[in-house]
Chains A and B, each alone.
Chain A
């Protein structure tokens, strides 16, 4: 429960000079606005929309704001936390209301798929090719074929289990074994990120035609499907079951000194489901250059280390400067699986719906 140590990083002068930087788009032929540039010293207010646990004391958001404002004294970063996330902006755009934010931090692949399905014009604009740090990104995390959403960290969905009570299941079929009866807590895939990731993982393993049968067996074996990560994890901590679907960075929360018996990481089929978190500039922003500067800033090696540690996720770049204990406690799965944008498009909604109906009919 200790507070993660706050490493003061004076915004190092790793940012290249900005004024006049320009690059030619190298995209796939779609129409893109030219790379926005800043003349002189960056200034103004940057409004960043995000989720609530990204802001406040001790969070990645607060660190980013301070570090960015230290680097660019004429810039103010403001966070806004819409109650219903990306949906807020999809609905705003659909009803013609203004979008008073420049950047959204915290978009999942399925958020992007939903935004594109619901809207005629894209909510977000292209960024990837205009970023100075684009070559440092881990290619596996790049979810958006149109380069709008750029990853800034990722979690790997895995099992967290109590080694004093149970052995980790090696395969998905093991979970159907009587040994694991009433042992697993997962989350509602309709509204929970890890829950949805776990469902998609089973679809990857059992196929589009097989996952519903698999879940029928899983339900018969007493899997518990709670609302979201927090209640599920809370139930796990209260010993309602010896396993929970969570993240493979679980031990980072507790630190090396803690008793980690109840925080063992289980990778089913030696896999983990990667759930990259991305950021994207709103098409409606009037600060495209400043927003791009902020994106590049988040991808700096030492900033990436801070974001990863404070957000308890893995960094999105290959050269992040991470604390040693983080590397020790955060477990990366031998094999990462994930559905990319094209695979989710037109499918994710139906998969989730069919699954939820089957569960609720039980």
Chain B
């Protein structure tokens, strides 16, 4: 009987995962995307053709769709004219800024992973836990922090002019968007690569060295192949995220820097759902194709890393000699840059929350939060329920997303024909824009779906947790799959040969061995739930199920203290504190769990 349950558990998990996804992801998204290819129920290519042949969207590439036969001649003509600038169009510009953002994120994130995985210093584990914090910050908050840090009158310019170095004018430029994207995604690079770097088996490196390899070639032959998949995962995720970037471009850019996603949002606002859906479909196809290509690559790379002992860490500071070590000096220089980009905006946010517009110290914004908490007025957004809701949904998401993510990771590591495709499809929540998911949920769950003559609606906490889990589980998978794939199969085989079911082998042997990766995924799931805004705001409508980011957005619009962001920065500080503590807790609690 129990064996039967154990045997059925895995297939049941797969089914439950698929069912959840169907309800909170595939069906809602399909209702939106179908607008692009259906006209009154009949298939149509009209909207797609219109977008592809419009130079505004596709720039010079529109010739491919208008007059494919004329392309070679056009290309020759372009070369003959000495490669003049070409119009990129909205898609081209979006890809261009995403590529720059990805490069910036990797350049900024990789040294962090090196330092965190190879050096020991006080507070290393806390710092490692906190790398996830930028990821959860609602963009409105990041925008406030960026303005306070990089604005004309911001902290950076104050310091620069104080040192007699002149000003930088950064805001509302492409550079600002790229730095903000790096703020969000470089910690992702750091985190994913650190996890991989830490699980490089020291025995492999040591045997390479023992066989005469130089440190550099040991790195190239052993370490690099082990961390490359995670680096590429991070780069791909960054590219996809920044390709679909929307709130940051709206908040820190000028309309001149609009991306495809900004356009989708504007089309939705204008209720031009057909054009919005067409743009979203093209965007989704592009990011799914990238995901698929990446997964094929990753599958070939698996099974390089082991679950043995991790590499020994060096001490970051070695007394006075620290100043003579070029590597350490470079690390400190990197530290300065990291402080400016990561700590600067957050610090500026904290400073804003206790600073009146005239620059004096004030506690008015925290008093505002207390007054909101004490208020009896209907429609008041109270901070405490927001904090409690955020944590409850976060824990709920964790409980749902970790099993879902592990299930998909198992499917992914089993391989077989079409498994990459299946995995790409199951990873789709990463590749579909928040606006499309939000709109789909609105049209299906919030408005309700008519089935057998009954309108079924599911708003409220359950729907929020389900939506969060659908957004979060691919991160669990992306953390767990490589580790699971890298696990030597003899552990599992031994367990199986001793009579353990597949489930028991998984629960008792495999998962504990890759505890660090599961925890990293769990932290992501929690983080995504806490920071999620788009679908929460739709599903939390009219009820008391608002979260911290939703409360924050409402305080932005609350003008009872005049037109300023003080109350929002105070709420942002609370959010920062709660999430920061949660991740340190997840990481620390996880430490006991690690084998």
Contacts and interface: CB of A to CB of B under 8 A. Distances in A.
Interface residues of B, number: 58
Contacts of A87: 269, 271
B147 A235 contact: yes
A360 B258 contact: yes
Centre residue among B152, B268, B271, B554 by max chain A CB count within 10 A: B271
B251 A231 contact: yes
B542 interface: yes
Interface of A: 1-4, 51-53, 55-59, 61-62, 65, 77-84, 87-88, 90-92, 95-98, 114, 118, 188, 190-191, 219, 224-227, 230-231, 233-235, 237-240, 253-254, 312, 349, 352-353, 356-357, 359-362
A276 B151 CA distance: 34
B560 A58 contact: yes
Contact of B256 (A92, A225, A237, A349): A225
A156 B271 CA distance: 27
Contact of B255 (A51, A55, A58, A359): A359
A83 B538 contact: yes
6 contacts: A57-B375, A65-B378, A92-B447, A96-B450, A238-B151, A238-B152
Contacts of A59: 558, 560
B381 A3 contact: no
A56 B541 contact: no
Given A61-B379, A81-B542, A91-B443, A56 B558 contact: yes
B171 A235 contact: yes
Given A1-B562, A361-B56, 4 more contacts: A58-B560, A225-B255, A230-B556, A235-B147
A88 B557 CA distance: 19
Interface of B: 56, 87, 90, 143-144, 147, 151-154, 171-172, 250-251, 254-256, 258, 263, 265-266, 268-271, 356-357, 364, 371-372, 375, 377-381, 442-443, 447-448, 450, 455, 537-538, 541-542, 553-554, 556-565
Main secondary structure of the interface of A (DSSP, over half): mixed
Centre residue among B250, B357, B379, B381 by max chain A CB count within 10 A: B379
A225 B254 contact: yes
Give the top 10 A-B pairs by smallest Cβ distance, nearest first.
A55-B379, A97-B447, A58-B560, A225-B255, A53-B557, A190-B266, A227-B250, A1-B562, A360-B258, A80-B542
B269 A191 contact: yes
Contact of A91 (B90, B254, B271, B553): B271
A95 B380 CA distance: 31
A83 B153 contact: no
A245 B155 CA distance: 26
A1 B378 contact: no
B266 to A, nearest CB: 4
Nearest to A259: B358
B147 A53 contact: no
Given A91-B447, A224-B172, A3 B561 contact: yes
A78 B560 contact: no
A176 B48 CA distance: 39
Nearest to B270: A349
Contacts of A55: 378-379
A188 B560 contact: no
Contacts of A51: 557
A221 to B, nearest CB: 13
Nearest to A241: B152
Contacts of A231: 143, 251
Contact of B269 (A53, A190, A254): A190
A352 B565 CA distance: 29
Contacts of A80: 541-542
Nearest to A97: B447
